[in-house]
Structure 1
Amino acid sequence: MANINDYKIIGKKSSKYFELLAKELEFDYSNIDSKQLERLGFYLFIIEHLTPLNDILDITDIVSDTEFNSILFNEKFDDFGIDAITINEEENHIQLFNFKYRNKFSVGKQSLNETILSSKFINALITENLTKLEGKTKRGAKKILEKLNSNDEYRISLYVVSNEDIEIKNKDHHLEQLENTYGLEIVTIGLEQISQFVSLRPSPIHSELIVDNDAIMSFSESSISSSKSYILRLPLSEVIRITCNEIELRANYAIEDLTPLSNVNIDYSVLFDNVRGLVVKSKYNENIYHSLKNDPSKFFMYNNGLTLTANDIRAESVNANKKVKLSLDSIQVLNGGQSLRTIHSFNSSDSKHLEDYLSNSEILVRIFKTSKDSELNNKIAEYTNSQNSISNVDLKSLRSEQLQIEQYLDEHNIIYSRKTGDTGLDNSKNYRHKISMERFGQILMSLRGMPERATNQKKSIFDKYYNDLFLSNKFSLEECPKLVEDYFNIKKEYEKVKSSIESSEQKVFYILYLQSKLEEPIIDLINTLEKIIQEYIPTSGKTLTAARKLIQLNFKTFLDSQVLPTTN
């Protein structure tokens, strides 16, 4: 169960997010009290973890909360209970957010009895009459209706998020109406789940266990090597014990009474190096639950297993050479984090599950001795996860070149966010910018002369184009800080002219490209791009939006023909 320390850590993380945003907006927050800073930053912190958005300015654009927009932008409109709206077009998923930030820590689960969403917002969606809505709320509702009325199938979720553990009781009939009309899914997220987001460098986790000789196989790179790794067949009750948050239980390999294990939680420190973040709800997790409850004896065959690393593995034969005792130092779960979370969740959901199901289920566990070789750790994480549905960005996040970029940019007070939720290597440092791996890859692609591919082929950045962008002699580590500065300077210029020129990430990438070709002020490049967007007529003769034009190779060719001759 999450405690007051988790509450405080999340408060500090949230404040950090707001401070980063304030830096980008050049916003003076000296008159805002600390709890207000936490509340406003909490929105940014949560949205980054629950949506595909990872750029702090992009996240800010979807926050519709009345107070947030009034304080930061002096825009005053009623949010009608919707604090943020985003649409994930790749997953066909509409996400609505309602935040409940509490100023004091409360023990135990709190019931939400108040109205979550305003009936005005719900009625606006159901009647498709948006006249009573304003600002970002109206723009978001309009986009929602466009998607719901399209031929594509969209699912819609409402996330009710609080920094205390919550449950919803007595849902009002308006909310039930939205559930019935659009199949709305309500997801509650409280302190316990949010605490899993926080990446803090953990203390080493040590565990001990005993396995039968026929349940263990050793491996070494050569016949003369003394360094061995192991493949095990472990009961899930043992997996729970060696990864739990009780030091004494992790060391108690001879445990006979399993009752104490029904009250433990996972020690999230073992997942620090796991490439995949928390997935709040997924079909995969539901399948694990189903397998555990309905076919526990076959779980070994249904699950891919866990991959662990340890700085040291000590093995000795015991019980007249019938068993092997293993002592594991500094273990990390690099693959199978979702399985491990779900196993622990299944265990804690009912005290009977341990005896009835988990003790009768086994899983394949691979444990590699890596000493303190971070490069080897990273490769194991990448290669063992590459068989699963994990994004290429996550897989590449542990590569040595990405760690070098992170460290180099950190020296220039820039956060290079390799993982969701990163707020810098040094909590005491006053950072100027935060850039995600994915966004930095898009910057590199634009500067390689492919701004038209930076948005619609961004998945290829960390796959097909990765070596050329990050590993070729065209890449310069020393230039990285300037590239980030250029990106944010362009964003600021667009902010200055937002009343007359609409900004987009696509346009920013084109300006980066033009900037590499032309020595002109940013505002002149912005005007040049707008002029060419207006002049360009596609070969089909159809009328296209600016966004559709910018992803066409023919547009890029037309742009080059108009601007490159001026450099001769």
Structure 2
Amino acid sequence: MNEVLEYYTSLIEHVKASSDVEGRLIEFEFLNYILDLLSDAGEFDDYEIVEDGRDGAGRWLIDGYSFDTNNYSLSLFVTLISSSEEPSTLTKREIESAIKKLSKFVTKALTEHLPSIFEPSSNCYQAARLVLDNWSDVSRIRFIVVSNRPASERMRALTIDDIEGRPCTVHLWDLRRIFKLESSRNEREEMIIDFRDNPLPCLVAHDDAEGEQSILTVMPGTRLVSLYGQWGARLLEQNVRSFLQHRGKVNKGIRATILSDPAHFFAYNNGLTTTAQGIVIEQTNNGPMIVELRNLQIVNGGQTTASIYSAYVKDKADLSRISLQMKLTVLSDEASTELVPKISRYANSQNKVSDADLFSNHPFHVRLEEFSRRIWVPVRAGQNAQTHWFYERARGQYLDAQAYLTPSKKKQFQQLHPRSQLITKTDVAKVMNSWDCLPHEVSKGAQKNFAKFAEVIDTQWEKDNLVFNESYFRKLICRASIFRALEKAIMKEDWYAGYRANIVTYAIARLSLEISNQSLDWNMDVLWRAPVIPNPIMMILRQLSHAINELLLSDSRPVGNPSEYAKRQMFWDTVKKIDCDIVKISNFLISKVEAAEQAVTSKLVQKIDNGIHAQETILKTPKKTWEKVEQYLLDEDAATPTLMQILQVAKNPKKLPSEKQSIVLAKLLTRYSGRF
């Protein structure tokens, strides 16, 4: 419990400090922090915080919402926060009271004349309109209670009645659960699927001593719909989720078969390829039965799953005759990180699902992490010494780095790595895509935006990974600093009424587009050394933000909900027409020609660094590994005289491979890494 209390103290201090700086109520600063965490964990995608969603008489409330267009679930958020030195226990009565008020908000949105209850320019009104406009598509409602207080461990699961035939569930994220997620090495919370009420017959095709199993089963369509309705995109392995969200459309052929020829669906469809990290099989008179799966992931069949679910929800399709073959590979936790991406890639060979989702061990991540631990940031205003930006390529790294430190060492760590300078993979995607003029992609939410970003990065990495050098990292940090400064600045503007995420990404994209159109680029050396974000830059961004806010909230907008409008290319086309005068920031700009010359120099430095790093890797690799690589090359008839000669050097401890030889050897290690 001491760790949890330390986490509580650290979290509330961070939220208070951030709240003071941004001029935002602590409840909403906390909610924003936690919803970012849960979004990254795949609980939902994009979300909106409603800062004016509390009835003065305390009859109803809504602190935020999210509507998932993949499985049509509506998530409604409420926060219960404490700022005392030690958190009190969260009671069942408090939770039930909050849920009741959320439920009343839904009822009002569906039954009353909205302009007479909510101010039409308010976020609360927009939330009510989203509920009303999408009600026919809503398949279920998730009431999500977020709190920095621990609930009683003896508290039973909370239930709530359906609303107009829509099943409702309660999800409590209290202090213990949040701490467990953030401190875990897992990207998301463990998922346990119980089949005991209706076990799945199966055939075990392979079962080895290490616990890896290959299993065949048949998944009924009704069961798949139930699972997808409950877990949504969390069922989809990251590559597939990105593929589905970025390109996915409901497959017309699958839909047609479901509606007109369900008896042949099993014959026509390739089925599902899945993985799990744990399984419970019971032997019965009818053969082996799957009764439980841990962390089930669909690595091929994501579009099939979404299409079946869409046919069920939108077309009210009868799924009683729909079933799919399912190939299941059960892997240990250790093997999952390495093998799941490979299974995904090979299983999806008919549809290009690249390494674009950038798993935490992708070299892009590893390189950014190495830069973040090594590169010192110049002293900023309010700081006494140089610091690091901490790049968290895997969940929990920031807390894990402090877990076993003494109080004094922990304090020192936090001074060198302020929580305000913690940056995650989805943060990087949001910042870089904003500056790269893709605000409509950023507005689609963390996961979909990450898919777009990862696709671009993966292509560039394969083409020339030298562009991801120290200059790239410094550019990222400069961009992130301006991005976060603008997030704070607009909160204090009189005109601000919500939709911060959309306003910030569009303002930055508009400024970036103007600079590019005038054949200019940022002088990153000047920005990197600046103790604060230069005021002329912030002035332009605030002006752009104001103009974008007016467009976003205009009564004449062609799309009803502002956050939905922000996801459209048409809004970006409109924003491009906003006047943007960059004369006052000319001191911070250089020509594109000069920027290109600097980029060439940075790539040369990275090339040298790559060679040195490759040499270090080769020297640490044992002779037995090189002998295995040699045998693999011979078995594949790929052993060219040059490769064999280089391998002889690698096997000789008295010889030092050149940088060029080391790079070749490093590629061989990567090529055969899964076999060692």
TM-score (norm 1): 0.50
d(CA) in 1 for partners of 2:59 and 2:394? 30
**Cα displacement (A) at 1:383:** 5.3
Contact 1:414 1:434 in 2 (8 A): yes
Q: Deviations over 1:69-119 (max 9, x none)?
A: xxxxxxx99683323234557876643124568944899xx9889834374
1:440 is displaced (CA, Å) by 1.1
Which amino acid in 2 is paired with 1:499? E
Equivalent residues of 2:392, 2:425 under 8 A apart = yes
Question: Residue 402 of structure 1: CA displacement?
Answer: 1.6
**Letter of the 2:576 counterpart:** F
Question: What is the SS of the residue equivalent to 1:463?
Answer: helix
Specify the code of the residue in structure 2 equivalent to 1:462: A
Which residue in 2 is equivalent to 1:265?
none
Distance 1:113 1:123, change over 3 A: closer
Question: What is aligned with 1:552?
Answer: 573
Matched, 1:85 2:65: yes
Q: Write the letter of the residue equivalent to 1:117.
A: L
Cα distance in 1 for residues equivalent to 2:204 and 2:342? 26
Residues 387-446 of structure 1: CA deviation (Å, up to 9, x unaligned):
899998755444232233245435665454556787554244533333332331243345
CA contact (8 A) 2:356 2:454 kept: yes
Q: Contact (CA 8 Å) 1:14, 1:44: kept in 2 or not?
A: no
| 2:605 alignment counterpart | none
Aligned to 2:624: none
Q: Which residue in 1 is equivalent to 2:364?
A: 401
Q: Does the 8 A contact of 1:455 with 1:506 survive in 2?
A: no
Work out which of the residue numbers 437, 440, 444 in structure 1 matches 2:432: 444
1:455 aligns with 2:449: no
Where does the alignment leave 5 or more consecutive residues of structure 2 unmatched?
A: 82-86, 146-150, 187-202, 219-234, 242-265, 279-293, 303-323, 375-386, 404-412, 497-502, 528-532, 592-676
Q: Could you tell me which residue of structure 2 aligns to residue 499 of structure 1?
A: 493
> In the alignment, what sits opposite 2:75?
95
What residue in structure 1 maps to residue 536 of structure 2? 524
- Give 1:439's aligned amino acid: D
Secondary structure of the residue aligned to 1:159 is strand
Go from structure 1 to structure 2 and tell me whether the alpha carbon gap of 1:389 and 1:433 turns closer, same or farther (over 3 Å shift): farther
- The separation in 2 between residues aligned to 1:469 and 1:556, in whole angstroms, is 33
Letter in 2 for 1:141: C
Runs of 5+ in structure 1 lacking a partner?
68-75, 203-213, 220-226, 237-270, 278-297, 311-330, 340-360
Q: Output the amino acid matched with 1:507.
A: A
Question: Which residue number in structure 1 is paired with residue 272 of structure 2?
Answer: 304
1:129 has 2:134 as partner? no
- Output the aligned Cα RMSD: 6.7
Q: What is the rounded CA distance, in whole Å, between the counterparts of 1:333 and 1:419 in structure 2?
A: 20
Change (3 A) 1:302 1:384: closer
| Alpha-carbon shift at residue 40 of structure 1 (Å) | 9.6
Tell me, yes or no, if structure 1 residue 167 matches structure 2 residue 154. Answer: no
For 2:52 and 2:6, how far apart are their aligned partners in 1? Answer: 23
Structure-2 change in CA distance of 1:201 and 1:26 (3 Å): same
Question: How far off its partner does 1:127 sit?
Answer: 1.2
Q: Is 1:468 the equivalent of 2:460?
A: yes
Distance 1:151 1:388 in 2: 31
Q: SS where residue 468 of structure 1 aligns?
A: helix
- Between the aligned partners of 1:394 and 1:198, the Cα distance in structure 2 is 21
> What are the equivalent positions in structure 2 for 1:23-38 lying under 5 Å apart?
24-25=18-19
SS at match of 1:188: strand
Cα distance in structure 2, aligned partners of 1:380 and 1:418: 22
How many angstroms apart in 2 are the aligned matches of 1:477 and 1:494? 26
Q: For 1:63 and 1:386, locate their aligned partners in 2 and report how far apart those are by CA, in whole Å.
A: 46
Partner of 1:256: none
**Equivalent position amino acid for 1:123 in 2:** K
Write the mapping of 1:256-405 to structure 2, written as runs, cut at 5 A: 304-307=272-275, 364-366=327-329, 379-380=342-343, 394=357, 396-405=359-368
Output the CA distance in 1 between the equivalents of 2:276 and 2:335.
14
Which of 33, 44, 49 does residue 51 from structure 1 map onto? 44
Helix, strand or coil at the partner of 1:80: coil
SS at match of 2:108: helix
Question: Equivalent residue of 1:115, what SS?
Answer: helix
Q: Report how many residues are paired.
A: 420
**TM-score (ref. length: structure 2):** 0.44
Q: Deviations along 1:139-159, whole A, 9 cap, x unmatched?
A: 333113443565896527543
Picking from 462, 473, 480, the partner of 2:473 is: 480
Work out the CA distance in 2 between the residues paired with 1:309 and 1:506.
41
Instruction: Indicate the SS of the match to 2:77.
Output: strand
**Aligned partner of 1:139: which letter?**
S
- Tell me the SS of whatever aligns to 1:232: strand
* 1:552 maps to amino acid: D
The question of whether the paired residues in 2 share the 8 Å contact of 1:415 and 1:434 is answered with yes
The structure-2 alpha-carbon separation of the partners of 1:504 and 1:363, relative to structure 1 and needing over 3 Å to count, comes to: closer
